[in-house]
Amino acid sequence: MIKKLSIICILSFFANICESQIRITEICASNIALVADPLYHEYSDWLEITNTGNSSINLQHYYLTDNKINLKKHRFNDPLIIKPGEIIILWADEKDTINHIDFELPREGATLIISDSNLQIIDSITYPYLVADISYG
């Protein structure tokens, strides 16, 4: 019985990820001179999130983390709407403002996880060590 419940839990976890419209599609964990943040004019780490679905998604109350134990590392407090097919850049510069997350990306590699307001994992990506100005994804 426990084995059946475990299999059901695992399958529902992966079903959530497969059905998601939100994808972490690219990461730059050592942005020295590749792309400048248009708001602060700095070269900060960044990641792209893509809405692959047919309807808009509001990331308000969603979470982003590089720590599997702490899924609540960064919470999107303000409305952040991604239209169908749209790609947004999030700057990982420890500034907690719109389109910015309040932690930097580890250059040596990590797993980034985005989860919804119920802490259901929506998408994740594991990236390796990244040299300066090389993105992954």
Tokens 């990236």 found at: 127
State which residues form the domain around 41. 21-127
Q: Is residue 14 part of a domain?
A: no
Check which CATH number belongs to the domain holding 30 and give it: 2.60.40.1260
Q: Is residue 15 part of a domain?
A: no
Please report, as a single letter, which amino acid is at residue 64: L
Weakest mean pLDDT among 10-14, 70-74, 98-102, 110-114? 10-14
Q: Is residue 51 part of a domain?
A: yes
The full length of the chain comes to: 137
Tokens 């119920």 found at: 118
What would the pLDDT profile of 39-64 be if each residue is shown by its tens digit? 999 999 999 999 999 999 999 999 99
Q: Is residue 16 part of a domain?
A: no
Q: Is residue 33 part of a domain?
A: yes
Q: Is residue 54 part of a domain?
A: yes
- End-to-end Cα distance, the chain: 39
Domain count within the chain: 1
Q: pTM score, two decimals? A: 0.82
Q: Is residue 2 part of a domain?
A: no
Q: Is residue 12 part of a domain?
A: no
